[in-house]
Amino acid sequence: MQDPKQIIEKALKDGRKFLLEPEAKSLCVHYSISVPKFMVVNDLESAIKAAHELGYPVVLKVVSPDIIHKSDVGGVILNINSEEELKEAYERLIDNVRQKAPHARILGVLIEEQVPKSVEVIIGVTKDPQFGHVIMFGLGGIFVEVLEDVTFRILPINKKDALEMISEIKGYSILKGYRGRAGVDINAIADIMVKVSRIVMENPMIRELDLNPVMVYERGAKVVDARIILNEYVEKTGG
């Protein structure tokens, strides 16, 4: 497993201010944050083989150092349920990117298992000029966009802080369970939040981190999408 600092230093050396999604997810895995199983492929034949290993349904996402928001250029295709659908989706994804971002370099295609839908939450970190790194938590999807139902803390945080944050949002009842619906694994959310705190404190060159969505189940949670933005330089620590 590649060391987080090596991943970050390689990105900066390549002139990038952000991690590619496979790099961001590898960083999550290093800190024992659960993500969907994934592989990066460079041709259709490899994609078919990877899908066979991962099992359908799968998702395809473009891997490019010139594209941060993959959905904007048609660089994400969901709900691929067979080899026939995979062949069509792979060609469509490459065509989409070449048409909408003709100058973007395509390093490969990330293929990953499509996890079941569930309650979505968002965990993010930004760097405030006055307070330093601040962590945010809220319900994902339309809840964060429309209701802005989120809560914040200055890093670092511990498990108690994380559980307090989770309980502060208006949508807490959705997480606990309501009207006969089972609740989700709140401890799993808190564990991810504490691990995110550790990621940022141990790698202060991270300027922004966005895990959205995080699918939370009755037991466990998985980070479906991970985005990490870096400072333009590696911050010096110590002498």
Structure token pair of residue 228: 């990490």
Q: What angle do CA 210, 216, 217 make, to 5 degrees?
A: 165
Buried/exposed 144-170: b ≥16 CB within 10 Å, e otherwise: beeeebbbebebebeeebbbebbeebe
Q: What is the CATH number of the domain that holds 69?
A: 3.30.1490.20
User: What does the pLDDT read at residue 24?
Assistant: 97
pLDDT average, residue stretch 10-39:
96
Per mean pLDDT, which range of 2-6, 94-98, 198-202, 206-210 is the poorest? Answer: 2-6
Do residues 170 and 106 share a domain?
no
How far apart are the C-alpha atoms of 65 and 58, rounded to whole Å? Answer: 23
Q: Which of 80, 113, 146 is the last residue of a domain?
A: 113
- Asked if pLDDT for residue 2 goes beyond 90, the answer is no
76 contacts: CB under 8 Å, gap ≥ 6: 59, 60, 61, 62, 70, 93
Identify whether 183 is part of a domain.
Answer: yes
**Contact status, residue 218 vs residue 182, Cβ threshold 8 Å:** yes
Verdict on whether the full-model pTM lies above 0.85? yes
Beta pairing partners, 210: 124, 227
Do residues 219 and 144 share a domain?
yes
Do residues 212 and 133 share a domain?
yes
Which among 169, 168, 141, 158 has a CA at the least distance from the CA of 196?
158
Residue 80: give the domain boundaries: 37-113
Structure token pair of residue 78: 């969901």
Do residues 154 and 224 share a domain?
yes
Q: What is the CATH number of the domain that holds 146?
A: 3.30.470.20
How far apart are the C-alpha atoms of 28 and 192, rounded to whole Å? Answer: 9
Do residues 127 and 223 share a domain?
yes
Identify whether 28 is part of a domain.
Answer: no
- For 210-227, the pLDDT digits (tens) are 999 999 999 999 999 999
pLDDT band for position 1 (cuts 50, 70, 90):
low
Q: Which of 97, 113, 129 is the last residue of a domain?
A: 113
User: What is the count of structural domains for the chain?
Assistant: 2
Do residues 130 and 192 share a domain?
yes
Identify whether 169 is part of a domain.
Answer: yes
